[in-house]
Structure 1
Amino acid sequence: MLRTFIFIVLLSGVVWGCQSGTQTKYKEWNDYGGGPDHSKYVDFKQITKENVNQLELAFFYPTDDNVGYKFNPIIVDGIMYVLAKNNSLVAIDATSGKELWIHANLRGIIQRGVNFWQSKDKKEKRLLICLNNTLQAIDANTGKSITTFGTNGYVDLKQDLDRDPSTFGRATSTTPGKVFEDLIILGSAPGENLFSGPGHLRAYHVITGELVWVFHTIPHPGEYGYDTWPEEAYKYVGGTNTWGEISVDDDRGIAYFPIGSPTYDYDGADRPGSNLFGNCILALDARTGKRLWHFQTVHHDIWDYDLTAAPQLITVNHDGKKIDAVAVASKHGFLFVFDRVTGEPLWPIEERPVPASDMPNEHAWPTQPFPTVVPPFNRQIVTVDDINPYFSPEEKEKWTTRVAAAKNGLFQPLSDNYEVVTNPGAVGGANYGNTAADPKNGIVYVQTQELADFYSLKNREPTSPRGGNSPQMLARGKALYTQNCQTCHGEDRAGINGLGATLVNLNARVNAEAFKAVMAVGKGRMPGFPHLTETEVSDIYAYLTPEAQRGPGGRGGEPELPEGPVVASGGVPIESPPIGGRMTDYPIEYTGPKVEYVETNNWGLGVPNLLTPPWSLIVAYDLNEGKIKWKIPLGNDDRIPGSKNLSMPNGSQGKGMVVTSTGLLFSTCLDGRIYAYDTDNGNILWSTDLGRMNPFGLPAMYQVNGRQYLVVCSVGGLKDKSKDETDVPKGYLVYALPDQKL
């Protein structure tokens, strides 16, 4: 792996040629999450607490399709890049919405966002996209694919993972990486089933596509942490990946990765040990991939407590000194805070005893880390006093009985002998998109949700080989649909009001590649199902769309081009990936215990809003003191008569915030509104109803020609079912102060 560095030698050391200047820091939204540190913070002065209530719709750009985008727009030099028109990447004028170019039909692109890079003279600009297990580059000036990137225009992300590419399905990240100097740094989302691919962290050169460095999150022989696993673990354990959000200290050249759980999530019999670097915040040298420090937030995870939310880089006053710190929010409701250079906790983190497992061959780790000063942002135990007061008497009795019979607690190991109830649950707490900060003043904001869940284990069925004739595929798909989807979408696939949308005629709206992406990362209230293999997802799609004619990769023929200035379609042609899709057994040399059990939970979807409200919150931490500054409900459940600021069940996952230097915090919410809060106290200063439930994607804020804009992607279902689809804007809504107020 070779690399050429362009550098300028100064008296104080070396400054890298592509390093961003401090004069533009927090003045642009030029990357997923705003900028390198992922703070979602902007230093614009026009919109203030006094005039925010005057915001109005400046313009609207329609998506012109039925795809549920989760896209975070990026804006550079007056041009906004969005995803619309059946997975087309579109450049529009950021002041009017006028289309400049369209790269059509990028089916299989990750839908949360893209990355942007430009040369120092700003003449060369590139968008880096992940598309169907490849990394590709698109010229941001012209919209055309850059065919000199990688091999014939792409990098095959299934390569360089130290395993046969035909033995696993996904290798693409479901969240954009981070650009640092001339590198694009990526995680991955290989899935969470037994024998999923490994979660290597990788960096590629933005010009050549050359692989520059790799970090093995499941250590290989001789590497740090190898002794925390069985000897052969790196050959068969999967996951341990960053499918969430990477943050970069671009002044120091340090990248911070939130790392997820090893596979299998709920049965760790085949991986005794603490399992580094699973569930770690990991700091690497962004230029070389060298480990600088790490902290493991869960040892030997058997609860699926991934870290996914962006680590927040802040400066705090601590013990009379200014400290550059990093704070990482977890799915189990803790906020961990460290010196971002040394990795030392700012306040003590205690290892406390936790229950042992009663399952054969399961060696739950005897202690787990608990922050001692910084309070959790979620409830972490469920009692009968927490049962939802809006339940009917019959429902309340049912759930009270079930809670009373279950074992309880964050770190209660799962069993096949009893149920375990836990909160926030595997998709509660803080997830991707759910953190932001005022980095200069040491304030961190966390969006979180209470989603209690019941777990138990059952014996795993034998692994099915890939393939089979159509009747077998349909039978497998029906069984998988019944187990995973029917609760919300109904036996007839017509959808259950308030839970799931109709899946009738699905193939007319969603092709196989887009369906795989939705199943991997979720959509709206629906969580992702990363534990399902690519084969199983294909089986479900086949069951739902038996009438669909699917060619290679489920593309169904040559796609139509949308209206507008189309300059290209489909990215670069790629060689068909190896057919296979999963490893079905342990390496022949492995003789230890095997995974025998699978969880029976459905990520809280089978459980109605179990707890007392609020179900979703925004929590503001003052990390100069390690205290919660304020905590407020996020949104309101309008279905409950007379409710106000009650919050929304499952209301924060995948939502996002924008923080301004004028003391405002903007947040999207499942209830179909966007809110502006006073950062001093959490009071609502402005809100507007978008007319559609569940605005997807992170909002963004930018400034062009002296005017400040807020953009929100609103593509959910209609709130008022009596209205026609054409009556309510669906796409990117852009707000600003009225012209006469500027």
Structure 2
Amino acid sequence: MAVTISAILCIILGLVLAVGGWRVIDLGGTWYFAVLAVGFLLTGALLWIRRRAALWVYALVMLGALGWAIYEVGFDWWQLAPRASIIGPLGLWFLTPWIAQRLGWQHFGARAWGGSAIPLMIAVALWGATALHALTSDSSDIKGMLPPPLAAAPAAEVNTADNVPASDWHAYGRTQHGMRYSPLAQITPSNVERLEKVWHYHTGDMRRPSDPNETTYEVTPLKIDDSLFICTPHNFVIALDAETGEERWRFDPQVPDSTNRQHLTCRGLSYHTSETPAEGQACQQRLFMPTADARLIALDPETGKVCESFGENGAVNLWKNMPNVTEGFYYSTSPPVVANDLVIVGGAVNDNVSTTEPSGVIRAYDAITGELKWNWDPGNPEQTAPIAPGETYSESTPNSWSISSADEELGLVFVPLGNQVPDQWGGNRSENSERFSSSIVALDLETGQLRWVFQTVHHDLWDMDVPAQPSLVDIQTESGMVPALVQPTKQGDIYVLDRRTGEPVLPVREVPAPQGAAKGDYAAATQPVSALSYEPPKLQDSDLWGATFIDQMMCHIQFNSLRYEGRYTPPSIQGSLVYPGNFGVFNWGGVAVDPVRQMVFSAPSYLAFTSTLIPRENDEKAYVSNSEPHLNENFGAPFAVDLKPFVSPVGLPCTAPPWGYVAGADLRTGKTHWLRKNGTVRDRAPVPLPFEMGVPSLGGPVITAGGVAFLSSTLDYYVRAYDVTTGKQLWRARLPAGGQATPMTYQSRSGRQMVVVVAGGHGSLGTKAGDSVIAYALPR
């Protein structure tokens, strides 16, 4: 019976491989699966008729598969594993007495293991030796060291924009320079392993049935004086005692539920204090909260009460002067930037619903009165004086849904911009949209006038919005200290620009890009690439992956069915592979910059997506969505778009791990000194095994003067600490839910350096939802 079952299994596997393998060949792919099919079919046939030659044939199958695997992927364990996942166990099974006795051997023991079994034993032993060698080698990491702090710029020359007390965290990136760098040094590589949980607060704001799929908890708290301030996905604002985590007050802006919203999150609050407060004036300090129903609210951080003098009864209506007003289609998920007594705010629009969406205008309001001081409309960039009553801004212009930075000394605000919708078809974009899509713009703080623009993608057809806050740091060059801007992008480039002019500090070159866009559109001839880049190499057949060689073969069929000519392959009716995908190598979490070491700590991620254009017959029919707000339908454009991850039939990525790293690079040279895979599949695999495969992150890092960086945003539920010099993981703690947020650190009134992490999960990523805010510190 055992031989019969084994024979049937081999024949079934052979038939599946034959059908799939022929399809791969027909598409121009590898012959490997078809050849493997012959081996399995022949082995099954010989087992069926009880011939010892089955073991000889299967030994050849194993040796051939091993040779091909090493040729394709070397000794990469996670690449070898799927290639051996069925082949190896079957080889061991065929050596058992239950098979051996029924293939003509009369005795167990030494005689039973001789003769025909010897080649198979050799093949099994070689597979085992290869697996052992692969397990003890790691070809994916770069294990180096960054220069020590003393080798970097002298501390006296370092500009950390620190009008913020060392103990505090006053803005999303700690200061308006957005470095996510703290000058605290109590926690060091030598003691970080002693961190312990100090307090655990629950916000009580959990997901609701009416929430959109992309309901996320991405907040980075503020710490001002002795209080922490957080917001929640449903826009509650909460003040906590920074020492104990006890709630001090809570504000509910009464945001109504809506099925129209694509996102529901709050990445953070903004803070303003008057340098010369008026005696007796209420709200001399203010918190600014953007809401999901498009209001900008000012609160008193002492009481949580609305600052009535701001706007109308404490709020500004961000729908004012907007075109195409549709509830839920415009909101700000990111905190505004506060500089020069101005509150400067952008907003997100629902992606790719139609060609008639709200404007991407950037507006600056007086931080005290809420009066509109200027507006920069990407569709009408020259006219920045406050818009007249009754007029509207340009529709469907590139918007800024992420976080901006400001340099008050230079008088500039730096705004990352997205794309004009629809993202995957640009045949009708205006001249100004072409100029500003997927770019960083520097605007004059006083007037809103454009000072410079740097575009990271030309004629973007891939949703490669500039996703993250620019980090402002002064960099030592051969020409002296340069005020620089560090901008991570979805496509993996980290641009280092002179923030005075937008000119590159690290070289940027233009490279030829694939052509052949959809009907009525075009693709840019070249695209920019930074000297500091985590762009992945172009995918090859050998990079395709699966849990077994069966789903790996299915990925080969998908891969060879899609159009793919490398990064920037235009979307197509055929279906195009987009790698890196619009999830991004970097997303809104950005990077952390150490101004003393002149280095950047980042967490690059790698997932591929497919983009398929679907011709539209009319402006009413829904092709890719089943409910409101009909994302990716692109009403008014000639194509809807079907976007999805490039995964196998069992839901695993078709590209091989690692899918996520941490990296340390020198900003003066652009050299990456270390790169280490980061994260486990414990919370993503059917069986919770903590394999260190490297998983994607969504959320950013924080770095400290103590030489330790913290990150909580991987798809497994941990907060981790790293040695900044080497990238080595030094400590980790289990989180109760997904930690897709950026941590922060501060000093409490008792003198302890605290590290605070938010664990609330991410709807689109499928991580566990929660409402936790957790603080860690060294023992007293």
Assess same fold via TM > 0.5.
yes
Cross-structure match for 2:372: 211
Q: Which runs of 5+ in 2 are unaligned?
A: 1-159, 208-215, 257-263, 278-282, 385-391
2:434 match: secondary structure: coil
Alpha-carbon contact 2:321-2:393 (below 8 Å) kept: no
Instruction: Give the CA deviation at 1:715.
Output: 2.8
Contact 1:117–1:125 (8 Å) recurs in 2: yes
Structure 2 CA distance for partners of 1:48 and 1:298, relative to 1, 3 Å: same
Q: Counterpart of 2:604 in 1: which secondary structure? A: strand
**Alpha-carbon distance in structure 2 between the residues aligned to 1:666 and 1:609:** 27
Q: Secondary structure at the match of 2:739?
A: coil
2:692 aligns to what?
645
- Counterpart position of 2:680: 636
Cα deviation for residue 311 of structure 1 reads: 1.1
- Alpha-carbon distance, 1:334 to partner: 1.1
CA-to-aligned-CA distance 1:221-266 (integer Å, 9 cap, x gap): 889xxxxxxxxxx987514111112112233232111111111111
Which of 1 and 2 has greater Rg? 2
Distance in 2 separating the partners of 1:66 and 1:101: 18
**Offset, 1:102:** 1.6
For 1:189, the aligned partner's letter is: A
Q: Secondary structure at the match of 2:436?
A: coil
Give SS of 1:448's match. coil
Q: Tell me, which stretches of 5 or more residues in structure 1 are unaligned?
A: 1-19, 224-233, 466-475, 483-515, 520-528, 534-583, 586-594, 719-724
Report the CA distance shift for 1:530/1:147 in structure 2 as closer, same or farther (over 3 A): farther
Counterpart of 2:642? 600
In the alignment, which residue of structure 1 is the partner of 2:156? none
Deviation at 1:629, TM superposition (A): 1.9
- Superimposed CA distance per residue, residues 121-156 of structure 1 (whole angstroms, 9 cap, x where no aligned partner): 687221111121111111111111122211233211
- Give yes or no for contact 1:135–1:156 (8 Å, CA) kept in 2: yes
Pick from 83, 96, 99 the counterpart of residue 247 of structure 2. Answer: 99
Tell me the residue number matched to 2:560: 404
State the SS of the aligned residue for 1:698. Answer: coil
Pair 1:480 & 2:625 matched: yes
Letter in 1 for 2:425: D
Q: Which residue of the other structure, out of 70, 73, 78, is the alignment partner of 2:218?
A: 70
Deviation string, structure 1 residues 360-402 (Cα, Å, up to 9, x no partner): 211222222223x32x2131522111112x4222111111122
The alpha-carbon distance between structure 1 residues 44 and 617, as it changes in their structure 2 partners (threshold 3 A), is same
With over 3 angstroms needed to count, the CA separation of the structure-2 counterparts of 1:395 and 1:709, relative to structure 1, is same
SS at match of 2:515: coil
1:525-540 matches, cutoff 5 A: 531=632
Q: Cα distance, 1:157 vs. partner?
A: 0.6
How far the C-alpha of 1:350 sits from its partner, in A, is 2.3
Residue identity in the other structure for 1:364:
A
Give the fraction of aligned pairs with identical amino acids, expressed as a percent. 29
Question: In structure 1, what is the equivalent of residue 777 of structure 2?
Answer: 736
Letter in 2 for 1:180: A
| Partner residue in 2 for 1:260 | 418
Computed over aligned residues only, the root mean square deviation of the Cα atoms, in angstroms, reads 3.0
Cα distance in 2, alignment partners of residues 738 and 260 from structure 1: 44
Give matches, 1:663-742, under 5 Å: 663-668=707-712, 669-690=714-735, 692-705=736-749, 706-716=751-761, 731-739=772-780
> 1:444 and 1:250, CA in 2 relative to 1: closer, same or farther beyond 3 A?
farther
- How far apart, in 2, do the equivalents of 1:330 and 1:717 lie? 21
Aligned amino acid, residue 447 of structure 2: T
Aligned residues: 578
Corresponding position of 2:63: none
How far did residue 328 of structure 1 move?
0.9
Amino acid at match of 1:124: Q
Instruction: Give runs of aligned pairs for residues 359-378 of structure 1, distance below 5 A.
Output: 359-371=518-530, 373-374=531-532, 376-378=533-535
CA distance in 1, matches of 2:375, 2:737: 41
The answer (yes or no) to whether the contact 2:361–2:393 under 8 Å persists in 1 is: no
| Aligned residue number for residue 612 of structure 1 | 656
Select 2:402's aligned residue among 224, 232, 244: 244
Q: Counting helix residues as a fraction of each chain, which structure ranks higher?
A: 2
Spell out the pairing of 1:113-512 with structure 2 (5 A cutoff): 113-120=268-275, 124-131=284-291, 132-161=293-322, 163=323, 165-166=324-325, 169-193=328-352, 194-219=355-380, 238-271=396-429, 275-371=434-530, 373-374=531-532, 376-388=533-545, 390-408=546-564, 409-416=566-573, 418-460=574-616, 462-464=618-620, 480-481=625-626
Shift of the alpha carbon at 1:198? Answer: 1.7
Alpha-carbon spacing, 1:699–1:150, altered in 2? closer, same or farther (3 Å): same
**Counterpart residue type for residue 172 of structure 2:** Y
Name which of structure 1's ranges 110-119 and 77-86 shifts more when overlaid on structure 2: 77-86
Q: 3-state SS of the aligned residue for 2:481?
A: strand
1:24 paired to 2:164: yes
1:377–1:619 CA contact under 8 A, matched in 2: no
Quick check: 1:711–1:734 contact (8 Å CA) kept in 2?
Answer: yes
Q: Please give the secondary structure, in 2, of the residue aligned with 1:601.
A: strand
8 A contact 2:547–2:652 mirrored in 1: no
Instruction: Give the secondary structure class of the aligned counterpart of 1:401.
Output: helix
TM-score (norm 1): 0.73
Change in CA separation of 1:92 and 1:266 when aligned onto 2, cut-off 3 Å: same
Q: Is the 8 A contact 2:602 2:701 kept in 1?
A: no
CA–CA distance in 2 between the matches of 1:86 and 1:138? 16
Larger RCO, structures 1/2 (Cα 8 Å, 6+ apart): 1
1:540-559 superposed matches below 5 A? none
